[in-house]
Structure 1
Amino acid sequence: MTTQPFDGNPPVFGALGRLYQSVYGTAQNLISHALLALFARLAIAGVFWRSFLNKVETNGLFDYVEVINNFEVQRSLMKVPAFPITIEDSTFAQFGEGGMFELPLIPGGVAAVMATAGEGILPILLVLGLLTRFAATGLIVMALVIQIFVFPTNAHFWGSIALWFVPLFYLVGRGSGPISVDHLLSRQLAR
């Protein structure tokens, strides 16, 4: 493993500068591409997976009741898609005519299925580190569609989309890293 030269300030501040370079040079060596790629894959996959779960029927795991303002609210520690996977009627309504997510040129039913499939399949690929660059590119396209056609505001771009782009562009540019199926497959194919 080659280490990248420290890109921080040279130790021009004497002992304080040398301490700075020592601490952050060590951090630079510890926070490797392997860790950054893994964390980027898991973090951005979670964003889109939660959106997927909002579009399909789900089952709760580890259910419990929470009392909020004297009202009992049924909660689950974790939700998983119900099988067979069924897109909720509300999802089709949101993508339909006059719906919040209505897109030009694409019929609402088709858009609902495409968005749901993308948010269900691409995060799984990212978590596994399988076809990572393809999956990240697909999510970039989805993010652009959301930005251009659904929430075309600067506030939405800088509040959500720009933050999604950081891990997605990192993954497209640098790949899945060594903790991934992509890495295992490339090593097997190289033999």
Structure 2
Amino acid sequence: MMTILARLGCIYGWGESQVAKLAPLLALAARLYVARAFFLSGLTKIRDWDTTLLLFTEEYHVPILAPAVAAPLATAGELVLPVLLVLGLFGRFAAAGLFVVNIVAVISYPDLGAAEIKDHVLWGVMLVYLVVHGCGAWSLDRFWQRRYTK
């Protein structure tokens, strides 16, 4: 006869296995959520390049890089890395790159309000999760691993 602790252990184990099945969905949701924010920011920058250059010259104070270098790098990062992240292709690299873009954005723009800081913290946490855990089972990285690393 099974003891109460053994039954609780079985129930807990079953619950764990059910929740673990949600991991690919959570990773995909995080990838889509973060990628959307950065990609839309990149689109905004590319729509009016003169304004983007002006903002990087007058408003954003990117450390070390000149505005003429920082603007195209930030824009390219915000347009390319989210696509890689959504696809889950070189996902850890994309998440790490966006984490750097996120940190530089917070450092470079001192007039961020509390709500904007919370957004950046949320994105940062999601990106760290993706760097540590990868993009999950529903990614091209995982497909590639299964296919070519047997």
Q: TM-score, normalised by structure 1?
A: 0.65
Partner residue, 1:180: 139
Q: Give the letter for the 1:42 counterpart.
A: L
The equivalent position to 2:53 in structure 1, one of 88, 92, 98, is 92
Q: Distance in 2 between matches of 1:172 and 1:136?
A: 6
1:72-118: CA deviations, max 9, x gaps? xxxxxxxxxxxxxxx6111111111xx11132321111000000000
Bigger Rg, structure 1 or 2: 1
Give the 5 Å matches for 1:144-163: 144-151=103-110, 155=114, 158-163=117-122
The equivalent position to 2:23 in structure 1, one of 30, 33, 37, is 33
Give the 5 Å matches for 1:33-182: 33-57=23-47, 88-96=49-57, 99-151=58-110, 155=114, 158-182=117-141
Larger relative strand fraction: 1
Pairs aligned (count): 142
Query: Secondary structure of the residue that 2:138 maps to in structure 1?
Result: coil
Identity of aligned residues (%): 40
Q: Distance in 2 between matches of 1:152 and 1:174?
A: 33
**How far apart are 1:174 and its partner, in Å?**
0.6
Q: Is the 8 A contact 2:62 2:107 kept in 1?
A: no
Note the aligned Cα RMSD (angstroms). Answer: 2.8
Q: TM-score, normalised by structure 2?
A: 0.81
**How far apart are 1:167 and its partner, in Å?**
1.4
Which consecutive residues of structure 2, in runs of 5 or more, have no partner in the other structure? Answer: 1-7
